[in-house]
Amino acid sequence: ITSKLPNVGTTIFTRMSQLAAEVGAINLSQGFPDFAAPAALCDAVGRHIAAGHNQYAPMTGLPALREQVAAKVATFYGRAVSADSEVTITPGATEAIFCAIQAVVRSGDEVIVLDPCYDSYEPSVELAGGRCVHVPLALPGFSIDWQRMKDALSPRTRMIILNSPHNPSGALISRAELDQLAELIRGRDIYLVSDEVYEHLVFDGVGHVSVLAHDELYARSFVVSSFGKTYHVTGWKTGYVVAPPLLSAELRKVHQYVNFCGVTPLQWALADFMAAHPEHLAELPAFYQAKRDLFCDLLADSRFTFTRAAGTYFQLVDYSAIRADLDDVAMSEWLTREHGVAAIPVSVFYREAPKDLRLVRFCFAKREETLRQAAEKLCAI
Ligand code: PMP
Ligand code: GLN
């Protein structure tokens, strides 16, 4: 067979998690919590299975859950969206992103992605017959480089994929950046995917800037989120897309034949939990900020250097003072094998990483005990 995705192998997340398990390292590589999801949420799944909620959900998602998403969007971003025509529940944000891309991108179209970027974007674009144009974010803050963005635009540009809070850097997009983007693409036939899966993991009292709060951009956007990150259930692979009615209709044509619908009892449980526990969303930033601060305070005694993540559950660290001779892939393996802590190299999120990049990513969505054990090992290096 001639591969349609010749450059795709096993993802770095799978490889590093496997290596961590193999050598018994503390796994701070792949992003997922090592603590329990809320008991009330887990109990609700069993209750709904027992109650017979075991057949197909509606293709667009359970109405009760779509209503909860619409209510949340109104509360957090001040936008009234229709639960019927603008909210679609998907089996994970990954499927949502894939469907949005398939719905819009045609053969020969260009899609601008901002490197470093999440690994699912490019294969999804390629399967649609499109081509990714990689625009590196400006270091050290991972902000948009407007000159390079302008240079990347062409008559073939059909989509731009944004991600804020940003994996792997934790950087946040600002309202001024959204305004600048709106100005740049005004009058052009360009759509946005705004990957906001870490929307509730924003720290230091800074609110999340959502495309949902930007009238002009929302009109051409698919805004994607994931219950996995917000409710500590990454394995449930349940997410959603909010998009204007015409865009939602096109996305649903694809979603209908990729998966048809998400898992029914999980959707019921999430709808119940969201209705009964609105405080969960309010408490989440402080919950994760405490983990970030614990991890960073402990690492202050190490030879790693870093700026605290503004959002997400990832912390980047620079290891130049420890092993500047190693590239970040080799460093991640060395940390895992020799020091018992698994990390993710940042260069894998780039098409062409800066040669002198000496950054690895740690996930701090972990119990205090895990973070302390990992930090102890990292401080001993
Ligand atoms: N986008 C980004 C930036 C992510 O980090 C993740 C998490 N793996 C996803 C999308 C996919 O989310 P999900 O697990 O809901 O498919
Ligand atoms: N989003 C997760 C991360 O960045 C990984 C998800 C996956 O394994 N595909 O670590």
Q: What distance in Å separates the CA atoms of residue 268 and residue 49, rounded to the nearest whole number?
A: 9
What mean pLDDT is predicted for residues 162-173? 98
Q: What DSSP state is assigned to residue 128?
A: T
Closest of 68, 98, 101, 96 to residue 83, by C-alpha: 68
Separation of CA 40 and ligand 1 centre (Å)? 24
Q: Which ligand is nearest to the CA of 240?
A: 1
Residues near 203 by Cβ (< 8 Å), separated by ≥ 6?
285, 288, 289, 292, 308, 309, 310, 311
Strand ranges, E, within 91-152: 110-115, 131-136
pLDDT band at 1 (very low <50, low <70, confident <90, very high): very high
DSSP percent split of the chain into helix, strand, coil, nearest 5? 45, 15, 40
Q: What gap in Å lies between CA 253 and CA 86, rounded to an integer?
A: 14
Predicted local confidence at residue 338, as pLDDT? 98
278 vs 199: CA distance, rounded Å: 15
Tokens 């017979």 map to which residue?
52
What atom of ligand 1 comes closest to residue 95's alpha carbon?
A: 16
Q: What's the Cα-to-Cα distance from 319 to each of 28, 129, 324, 378, rounded to whole Å? A: 16, 39, 7, 11
How close is the Cα of 94 to the center of ligand 2, in Å?
10
The ipTM is: 0.97
Distance 185 CA to ligand 2 centre (A): 30
Domains in the chain with CATH codes:
12-30+280-379 (3.90.1150.10), 40-276 (3.40.640.10)
Among 16, 17, 32, 363, say which to mutate for ligand 2: greatest number of ligand atoms within 8 Å of CB.
32
Distance between the two ends of the chain, CA-based, in angstroms?
A: 46
- At 96-144, the pLDDT tens digits run 999 999 999 999 999 999 999 999 999 999 999 999 999 999 999 999 9
Q: What is the mean pLDDT of the chain?
A: 98
Q: What single letter denotes the amino acid at residue 91?
A: P
